Amino acid sequence: MSSTRETAASMAMLPREYRVMFEIEQEYWWYRGLRVLVQELLARYARRDGSTRILDAGCGTGKNLELFCERGDARGVDISENAIGFCRLRGISPDRLMVASILDLPFPDHFFDLAFSFDVICNIQDDVAAFAEIRRTLKPNGLVIAQMPAFQWLWSAHDVAVGHKYRYTEHALRDKITRAGFKVETLTFINTTLFPLIALLRFARRPGADGDDTSDLTPLPHLLNEGLTRLFSAEMRRALDHKLPYGISLLAIARRVD
């Protein structure tokens, strides 16, 4: 196996998880709430005329990328050929997709206005270098918006399945983003309302505890899924205006400094 393939394997989710994501992403409460947050972010930071150049760094199976393409000139990259294949199944144009590492983005300097990365940079051992490579592709004063998993003590089988290398404290994430050449403008926890429930689930699913390192992405009964969707979506609508003290994830918005 080549060193390139070894690197790719170390960054990507377990292959089965891409199909799970693709099949569940439309209706699952967490993804629906996340898209509410994405819409709020696009309303604030993307130009109304559709001219914003947007990078989805680690686009997965492409559901968020669909939104980015509706609001601007968007490109999605992912280290996994499986992920890019699912993006094509969604109907996303191949000229908006590339198999590539965030550590070596196939774009020129100063190309994008806005970059998103959700739970992906945490899969890369040298996460500071990943932030720095995204910075390279951003225009002066461009923004990176990253969601990252919080608190190492929440490490579980879910992290193993989706390829995480780290979970972060607020201080550690701010430090790494700053070292990469950004000024952090917003840093807040999210997924606070459901924190006790999810924390209990994570403690029950320590890696290898039951011999089954799969993600938490499991279809739920309709009424439960709808209830969780409403709770999480309501939180996401106010997340940008209220700094939350704890949560399952951290949301960072940072501006390129020169």
Tens of pLDDT, residue by residue over 114-153, are 999 999 999 999 999 999 999 999 999 999 999 999 999 9
Domain boundaries, the chain: 3-256
pLDDT at 1: 31
Q: What percent of the chain has pLDDT over 90?
A: 74
Handedness of CA 148, 172, 45, 229 (dihedral sign): positive
Which tops the pLDDT comparison, 6 or 178? 178
Q: What percent of the chain has pLDDT over 70?
A: 93
pLDDT at 7: 45
What tens digit of pLDDT does each residue of 178-235 get? 999 999 999 999 999 989 988 888 887 776 545 456 777 788 899 999 999 999 999 9
**Across the beta sheet with 53-57, what order do the strands follow?**
97-99, 73-78, 53-57, 112-118, 138-149, 249-256, 182-190
Handedness of CA 235, 37, 198, 25 (dihedral sign): positive
pLDDT at 215: 75
CA distance 95 to 222: 36
The distance of Cα 200 from the centroid of its chain, to the nearest Å, equals 23
| Other CB atoms within 10 A of residue 96 CB | 18
The H or E element containing residue 10 is helix 3-11
CA distance 49 to 240: 23
Q: Terminal CA-to-CA distance of the chain, rounded, Å?
A: 39
Whether 77 has a pLDDT exceeding 80, the answer reads yes
Does domain 3-256 bear CATH number 3.30.1540.20? no
pLDDT at 8: 43
pLDDT at 6: 34
98: region left, alpha or beta (phi > 0 left; psi from -120 to 50 alpha): beta
Q: What's the longest Cα–Cα distance across the chain? A: 51
Lowest pLDDT segment from 10-19, 49-58, 70-79, 125-134: 10-19
Q: Mean per-residue pLDDT for 237-246?
A: 90
pTM exceeds 0.95, yes or no: no
